[in-house]
Structure 1
Amino acid sequence: MKLIKWMTFVGVMSMSLNVLAEGGGDRTFDKALSANAKAMELYAANQGKAPPVVKDYEYGMKLDVVKVVSVVKPRATCAVVPTVMTYEDSKGQLNTVKYTVAGECRQRG
């Protein structure tokens, strides 16, 4: 039983080190953003629309959201993290907005 716990601990630690070696959360978000951009390009092509350009959200920015197409899931962390949402507006155009949200904090108490 101790061997299984020890092996599990070593496995978890090696995965953690791998994440740190890759640059942690910023690198993970960049990969998710890149994958989302490729998926939205394919979606736009299939819908006969122009691919969306990523815009940074600014406080008070008016969003004309008719249909949410995609949202990049925030990281599981107790911090403010970036995410993106791609949506279709009332003119039928695709838009992608980058903003920050509270990460999915999963503290055990």
Structure 2
Amino acid sequence: MKALLVLALGSVCVTAMASEAPTDVAQQQPPIEEYTYSMNLDIAKVISMSEAPNVCEVVPMKMEYEDSNGQRHILRYSAMGNGCSNG
């Protein structure tokens, strides 16, 4: 009977810890900043960049980077897609 109680309490604790994990990750994710031409960017290391789709129009892009203090940032900006030709 005691073993069954320990098993039941253990599964409740594991479930509670599993449900807390995504919130911890969400809190670590930096907010998305919208790029403006007046911004002074401090980019020490680019972590990831979205790829431009094969369309001939302006599309939203994202870049995740670290500044010179080691803080992560996510920057949203607009760029032209790769689907245009000069022909």
TM-score between the two structures when normalised by the length of structure 2:
0.63
The count of corresponding residues between Structure 1 and Structure 2 is 62
Q: Which amino acid aligns with 2:30?
A: P
Q: Where does the alignment leave 5 or more consecutive residues of structure 2 unmatched? A: 1-24
Gaps of 5+ in 1: 1-40, 43-49
Distance 1:95 1:72 in 2: 14
| Shift, 1:108, TM fit | 8.4
- For 1:81, the equivalent position in structure 2 comes to 59
C-alpha displacement of 1:79: 0.8
- The structure whose residues are more often helix, as a share, is 1
Q: Determine the structure 1 residue equivalent to 2:73.
A: 95
Question: 1:52 aligns to what SS in structure 2?
Answer: coil
Match of 2:45 among 51, 54, 67: 67
Give the structure with the larger strand fraction. 2
User: Which deviations, in whole Å up to 9, do the C-alpha atoms of 1:54-108 show, x marking residues without a partner?
Assistant: 1111122111000000101111111111100000000100000000001112548
User: Which one has a bigger Cα radius of gyration?
Assistant: 2
* Cα RMSD after superposing both structures: 2.1
Deviations 1:27-76 (A, max 9, x none): xxxxxxxxxxxxxx59xxxxxxx422111111221110000001011111
Higher RCO (C-alpha 8 Å, min separation 6): 2
Give me the TM-score of the superposition, normalised by structure 1.
0.51
